Structure 1
C-alpha cells in the first residue's frame, strides 16, 4: 500500500504524476527504491518497461513499489498518449536507467519499445523528460553516445550525469534524481538566482590532534541549500562537510577558512543572496606545531574570530543576507529583541532566532522565529527540512 508512505518525507511532489520508464540496464534494480522515494514526497508513480528491462527486474516489483499496473507493451488503450500525449496525465517522464541503446533511439526518433514510444510522445507534446544514463564506462565514452546525449539536451531533455566508478557509468544516486524532479516540478521561484549558504560548525586547531568546535550538525544549512536548489537556484554550500550533495560544496575547517571561502565565492560575482546558517567559532588560537603533552592543568589563550556577516556586508552592501541568532533560555520577546538588534547592526534582511537552550543543536527537529525587515515574525517548529522551506520562502519573498 503506497498510501502508508505517501508524503512521509515531504509533500513537494504532491499532486504530481511521474512516469518512471525503465530500460535494460542492471541498474533497473534500483528503480524500486527510486519509485518509493518519489512516493514519499507525494508523487503518484506509473511505470513503463522495455522488454530488456523485464529480463532484469520483474514488472511485479515495480507494480508493488508504485501501487499501479506496469506497462510492458502498448495496447489499444494507447497508454503513451494517455500519459504523455497533449493534455495527458503525466507531469514528467523519468527514464531511469537509460541505456546507450535507448538514448540513441530517442535521439534519432526511433520508436520500437514501450519506453521509446513514451519518449517520442512526451517530446512531441511538451512533457518534461529526464534521462538518467547507466552503462559501462566504455559505452558511455563512445563519441556517438556523447553526441546523442548532446542531441537530447538540445531538445530540452534534462540529462543527469552518471557516477564514473569501477569502469562503470553508474546511475545517479536516487537523492540526485529526486532533487532534480522536485526542481523541475517545483515553484521555480528562485530560477536564475545564485545563493550561497554556510552551514555546520567550524573547528579551530589546538595542536595537530585536538580541535575546538561546537555541537552544530550542519543539517539546517544542508537542508536550506537543498531547498534553494529545489526552487531553481544555483547553490553553493560552504561547510565543514563532504556530503556529496547534488550542488556545489566548498570544504572549510576553521572560521578563517570559511571567511576566506565565502569572500572568494562572492568576489566571483553573480550571487544574489547569502544564508549564514553556520555556527562559526567565536574564538580561535594560534595552534601548537607539536602535540600538547597530556596531564596536568592546561590553559589556552584564545582570541576572537572575525565576523563573517560583518565582512560580507562591508564588501557587498547590495546582497540579500539571512542571519541566524542563537541564544539560550530566553522568552520569545527577548529572542525577538536580540534578533532585531542583530538585524540592525549587520543590516540583515532576515534573521532566524533560535533558542538552542531548548534544543536544535545536533537534533532532527527545531523551533525558530523568522523575522523580516517588515516586522513580520513567523514561528516554525518541526523537522529541519520544514524550517528550511520557511527560511527559503522568506528569502524568495525578499528576492522578488
Structure 2
C-alpha cells in the first residue's frame, strides 16, 4: 500500500507559468495512491487545458462555481467535503490575497472557505512579488491561521530574473502532502536517527567501511517526520540525498557520529541507531598515500567507542532502539545485543539474504522488545517497515 492510498486530494491550479507543473504533481499524487480532483481557475486555463488535467487525473476538471457534480450536489460543497487535503499549486499572489481576505468569488476560493481539510499552499511568482510587503504579510497571517506552505525554490524565473519564486520541486510538495495526511503518533516528540556506514581513514585515499546504504535509517527518519516528530538525522557517507523537512547532519567517521548523535540525543525523546558504525578503526591514519612497494602488510586496528552502549549507560527517560544486521543466529545475537546495550528494542534482519538488507529497497525484520515480546514484519518496502516499527515503538514506549 502506498502512502496516499485512499486519500482524496483536491488540487487547485491558478494562473501562472508554473501551472504546467500541475501535470507532474497530478501524476506523482496518483502514483502514490491518491485520488485527485482538479479545480482550474479561469486564469489557470490560459496556461494549461482542462483536457490535459482530466486525462492525467482520470476525473472531470472543475472550473465553474455554479457547476453541479450531480443533480443533488452543489459543486463547491461536495468538493470541499470530499477532500482529505486541498493543495493549491501554483498559488499566485492573487489567490493568497483572496484567501487572507476571505474573498470567495470563484470555485477555488469558495472551496477554500468551505473545506475543513488541511490546506497546503505552494506559492510561485516573480521574486519581487514574493518579497513584497503585501505578500509577506499575507503569508504570515495564513501561517497563523493554520495554513501550511511549501516555500518556493530559488533559481531562474520565467521573467528572466534569478531568485526565490520558482514553484517548489514536485517531490517536496508531495512529501508535505504525505506529512499532512499521516497520523501524528509522534507529535511533540524529538527523535534522533543514525543512518548509513562510517568511513575510517587508512591514508588520504583509502578507508575502511561497510556495505550499508543508509536506506533503512533514512526510512526511519522520514517515517518519524511524517508521524509528526521533530527529527534530526545523523548520516554517514551515503549516496542518498538529504531527506526533506528535517535537520540532517553529515558525518564521516565513527568518532564524528558519536559526537553528533550524543549532542543531539541530549534533548531527544527517542534515539534510533540504524547506522552501521565501524567496530574498529586504524590506530592512526597515514598522512600520505601508502605506497604498495613500502607497505608492510599490517594495519593496526583499535576499537571505536560503542555509540549505543554509551547512550544506554546514561539514557535517562529516552527510548533507545538499535538495529542488528546478522548473518546467523538472528534471535540469539540480537537479544544479547539488546540486553548488553540496555535498549528498549532492537530491529534484526538477516543480511546474508540478497533480497533484503544492504542496498535493497526492501527489508524483512523481527523486532525484539525488552519485555521479552517480539514482532515479525514480513518483507516489504523499507518505508513500510519503518512505519510499522515506529507504530510498535509508540504503542509500547511513547503513547500519545
What TM-score comes out, normalization by structure 2 length? 0.90
Pick from 353, 373, 378 the counterpart of residue 376 of structure 1.
373
1:344 and 2:339 correspond:
yes
1:15 and 2:6 correspond:
yes
How far did 1:385 drift?
Answer: 1.6
Deviates more, 1:91-100 or 1:181-190: 181-190
Count the aligned residue pairs: 379
How far did 1:41 drift?
Answer: 2.7
1:29-40 equivalences under 5 Å are 29-40=20-31
Q: 1:295 to 1:101 in 2, by over 3 A?
A: farther
Distance across 2 between alignment mates of 1:244 and 1:135 = 26
Distance across 2 between alignment mates of 1:211 and 1:353 = 27
Pick from 9, 19, 38 the counterpart of residue 28 of structure 1.
19
How far did 1:296 drift?
Answer: 6.2
Distance across 2 between alignment mates of 1:142 and 1:273 = 41
How far did 1:369 drift?
Answer: 1.1
Deviates more, 1:217-226 or 1:168-177: 168-177
How far did 1:203 drift?
Answer: 0.8
Give the equivalent residue in structure 2 for 1:119.
112
Return 5+ residue gaps in structure 2 as ranges.
69-73, 157-162
How far did 1:153 drift?
Answer: 1.0
Return 5+ residue gaps in structure 1 as ranges.
1-6
Give the equivalent residue in structure 2 for 1:250.
249
Distance across 2 between alignment mates of 1:235 and 1:66 = 33
1:168-247 equivalences under 5 Å are 168-240=164-236, 241=238, 243-246=241-244, 247=246
Distance across 2 between alignment mates of 1:28 and 1:266 = 43
Distance across 2 between alignment mates of 1:312 and 1:389 = 24
How far did 1:315 drift?
Answer: 2.9
Pick from 33, 42, 60 the counterpart of residue 42 of structure 1.
33
Pick from 125, 129, 134 the counterpart of residue 124 of structure 2.
134
Distance across 2 between alignment mates of 1:76 and 1:31 = 22
Give the equivalent residue in structure 1 for 2:322.
323
Distance across 2 between alignment mates of 1:178 and 1:375 = 39
How far did 1:76 drift?
Answer: 4.2
How far did 1:186 drift?
Answer: 1.8
C-alpha root-mean-square deviation of aligned residues, in Å? 1.7
Cα-to-partner distance string for 1:266-296 (whole Å, 9 max, x where unaligned): 23x2x11011000111111221222222446
1:153 and 2:146 correspond:
no
1:283-362 equivalences under 5 Å are 283-285=280-282, 286-295=284-293, 297=295, 298-328=297-327, 330=328, 334-359=329-354, 360-362=357-359
CA contact (8 A) 2:313 2:342 kept: no
1:70 and 2:43 correspond:
no
How far did 1:75 drift?
Answer: 2.0
Give the equivalent residue in structure 1 for 2:159.
none
Question: Residue 88 of structure 2 aligns to a residue in which SS?
Answer: strand
Give the equivalent residue in structure 2 for 1:389.
387
Pick from 96, 101, 109 the counterpart of residue 103 of structure 1.
96
Cα-to-partner distance string for 1:54-85 (whole Å, 9 max, x where unaligned): 1222222211221100012222423211111x
Cα-to-partner distance string for 1:136-162 (whole Å, 9 max, x where unaligned): 222211121110001111211111222
Question: Residue 249 of structure 1 aligns to a residue in which SS?
Answer: strand
1:144 and 2:115 correspond:
no
1:80 and 2:76 correspond:
yes
1:263 and 2:262 correspond:
yes
Give the equivalent residue in structure 1 for 2:51.
60
Give the equivalent residue in structure 2 for 1:4.
none
